[in-house]
Amino acid sequence: MKFVLAPDSFKGGCSAIEVATAMKTGLSRVFPDAEYDLVPMADGGEGTVQSLVDATHGEMITVSVTGPLGNKVMASYGLLGDGTTAAIEMAQASGIQYVNEVTHNPMITTTYGTGELIMDALNHGAQKIILGIGGSATNDGGAGMAQAIGVHLRDIEGNELAPGGGQLDNLATIDIRHVDPRIPKTKILIASDVTNPLVGETGASVIFGPQKGATSEMVKRLDANLVRYAAIIKHDLGKNIAHAPGAGAAGGLGAGLMAFTNSQMKKGIDIVIEYTHLKERVQDADFVFTGEGGIDSQTQYGKTPFGVALAAKSVAPTAPVIVLSGNIGDGLSILYRPDAIDAIFPTATAAKSLAKAIADAASDIELVSENIGRLIAAIQRSIRN
């Protein structure tokens, strides 16, 4: 009997590999001789890099880069087991965790450190990069990232622009002659479910700017600056990115990547499924276990359990897909489909506080997995008899 254990993390409680290990521990009490394939998963958000590193037996690399406010921060990224693919979360360098209620200011925050992570990955032999772009503190259209890889953004007098989206109204010309020659040869897969354009009423500044500290006046200025930025990109580079789906992700970093790199935007869960070879690993599975900290009707939109279920059923349609979750919300009926999820189980073993549930996550997952295993064993005995 083969179990494929492909969960996401339980945020605050267990990493994806810890969840998979707890599932195995519980199931092994019932099926000690079964085959277990642990495939830590993620959907492109927090934890994606660690899951990909764990699943491919890669390594984490930590470097000093420029934070969103210009100070130095320590940021980590992953080099996957193939030795030529890097996995980066832009939030490690340019994330909102580096600012607070006093210091957040999308007029000055920069994605320069994200560009530095890209360059460091190339220096470590990366030929392909998976880049998750959630959780940013920035609204600079990826201008800082561009400068870090060798793009020159100059004002009317030929001076390099200072950091931040608030400076883009001074942009006059873009010079890409000094971009690192490895950049156009490196495929960047952008892990993002955001489809917002760069500018306008559903653009980066209007929708996401206030979350990063932008006042209504700042929002107007930032959006106008990004309109100018997009126009100059179109004029100087011939690329029309103003209204491209996903260009507004991470304060416009999506647009910067589209303009200055060899990039493609994909759903995070699809990228993780591809790089963990989940479909190949689940082909001969008897049961597939997945899960994450919370599940509800929104899980169908690119979240790990639903993505795992669809992938598994596409190659192993008779293998039941079982989901474990710390918090179960409303609207689950839409997730129960012949080509998706078969059963969902809560992991909390008693009424307890959130802090206690997080602390008990691993042991609770073990116990629930064991109980599910005992149910499977009982059904098997009944069929044999």
Identify the CATH class of 2-41+284-384.
Answer: alpha beta
Asked whether the CA dihedral 245, 251, 252, 254 is positive or negative, the reply is negative
Give the Å distances, CA to CA, from 51 to 44, 59, 113, 284. Answer: 10, 11, 22, 22
128-187: pLDDT as tens digits: 999 999 889 999 999 999 999 999 999 999 999 999 999 999 999 999 999 999 999 999
CATH 3.40.50.10350 intervals, the chain = 2-41+284-384
| pLDDT at residue 157, as a whole number | 96
295-319: pLDDT as tens digits: 998 888 888 999 999 999 999 999 9
pTM for the model = 0.86
Residue 356 scores a pLDDT above 90: no
Give the Å distances, CA to CA, from 210 to 139, 204, 371. Answer: 10, 10, 46
- Looking at domain 48-269, does it have CATH number 3.60.10.10? no
Tokens coding 3: 């179990």
Tokens coding 297: 């009707």
Tokens coding 68: 């969103």
Asked whether the CA dihedral 121, 226, 46, 344 is positive or negative, the reply is negative
- C-alpha 182/C-alpha 378 separation (Å) is 58
Q: Which segment of 213-217, 301-305, 340-344 scores lowest on mean pLDDT?
A: 301-305
Residue 351 scores a pLDDT above 80: no
38-95: pLDDT as tens digits: 999 988 877 889 989 998 999 999 999 999 999 999 999 999 999 999 999 999 999 9
Q: What is the DSSP letter of 78?
A: E
CATH 3.90.1510.10 intervals, the chain = 48-269
Q: What are phi and psi of 353, to 5 degrees?
A: -70, 165
Residues near 235 by beta carbon (within 8 Å), at least 6 away in sequence: none
17-48: pLDDT as tens digits: 999 999 999 999 999 999 999 999 988 877 88
Residue 257 scores a pLDDT above 90: yes
Identify whether the C-beta of residue 265 lies closer than 8 Å to the C-beta of residue 193: no
